[in-house]
A and B are shown apart, each in its own frame.
Chain A
Amino acid sequence: EVQLVESGGGLVQPGGSLRLSCAASGFTFSNYAMSWVRQAPGKGLEWVSTINRSGDTTYSADPVKGRFTISRDDSKNSLYLQMNSLRAEDTAVYYCAKFTGPYGGYGDYWGQGTPVTVSS
């Protein structure tokens, strides 16, 4: 059974940093691209960032470029999102998603999400 479990969310002040983690199990982690998708309170889904299977290529949405960094550790079956210079508009539930292919695709499995609140 595929499982994705996010952690690391919480309350942080504007300008602060957080590191989200996603522990994966039930599939060959190193074969698939992985992504972060967020959802602000009462809003729709917003793609944040994707990393390919080998970890050498990443893509990020314009609102987070230069502030957020996606990475993976295949030895630990884990995905990460380092979030720096956080802003109020980054407040959202952050989902980890396994994508259908090695370089991208669609999210066929999702975690339960971890909430991030940016507020003073």
Chain B
Amino acid sequence: EIVLTQSPATLSLSPGERATLSCRASQSVANYLAWYRQKPGQAPRLLIYDASNRATGIPARFSGSGSGTDFTLTISSLEPEDFAVYYCQHRSSWPLTFGGGTKVEIK
């Protein structure tokens, strides 16, 4: 099973600041990695797929990078709706796994 480790666990930032989230895989997943945002009480929403592709309707302030074992989600300028929990997920092999999440909170 591929373990995905997200860091930091919590990120305290102000609106308008840049957020940088990390996801590290226990073995290579090539570029088969996605990022989701989950607001409180809501289902997750797909942001980025295959490491760097924005999903439908996702604004340009979200970008993804990385390959192999190290991946980054960058939010260039935080909007109020971006204060939420972010998860990474791989599709490299079965079982699929999610990272433990990074909470982006208002400083």
Minimal beta-carbon separation of A57 from chain B (angstroms): 10
Shortest Cβ distance from B30 into chain A, in angstroms? 14
A95 in complex: contacting residue of B43, B49, B101, CB < 8 Å: B43
| Pair A100/B49 contact, Cβ less than 8 Å | yes
Q: Which of A59, A104, A107 contacts B44 (CB 8 A)?
A: A107
| Contact between chains at A44 and B87 (CB < 8 Å) | yes
On chain A, the residues within 8 Å of B101 by CB distance are 44-45
The secondary-structure label for the interface of chain B is: loop
CB of A25 within 8 Å of the partner chain: no
Chain A positions within 8 Å of B11 at CB level: none
List the one stretch of A15-23, A79-87, A109-117 in contact with chain B: A109-117
Q: Report the Cα distance A53→B87, complex, angstroms.
A: 25
**Cα distance A47–B101 in the bound complex, in angstroms:** 14
**In the assembled complex, A1 has its CB within 8 A of some CB on chain B:** no
In the complex, the answer to whether A104 meets B100 with C-beta atoms within 8 Å is: no
Chain A: minimal CB distance from B67 (Å): 16
Given A100-B49, A105-B91, A106-B91, A44 and B44 contact (CB-CB distance below 8 Å): no
A56 lies within 8 A of chain B by Cβ? no
Contacts of B100 in A (CB 8 A): 44
Q: Mark B23-58, 1 if CB is under 8 A from A, else 0.
A: 000000000001010100001111001000001100
For the complex, give the distance between the alpha carbons of A50 and B96 in Å.
9
Query: Across the interface, do A45 and B95 meet the contact criterion of CB distance under 8 Å?
Result: no
Contact B43 A47 (CB under 8 A): no
Instruction: List chain A residues, Cβ under 8 A from B91.
Output: 104-106
A46 at the interface (CB under 8 A from B): yes
| Docked CA distance A62–B96 (Å) | 11
Contacts of A37 in B (CB 8 A): 44
| Chain A residues in the interface with B (C-beta under 8 A) | 35, 37, 44-47, 50, 59, 61-62, 95, 100, 104-108, 110-113
24 A-B pairs in the complex with CB atoms less than 8 angstroms apart: A35-B96, A44-B85, A44-B98, A44-B99, A44-B100, A45-B36, A45-B38, A45-B44, A45-B87, A45-B89, A47-B89, A47-B95, A47-B96, A62-B95, A95-B44, A105-B49, A106-B34, A106-B49, A106-B89, A106-B91, A107-B89, A110-B45, A111-B43, A113-B43
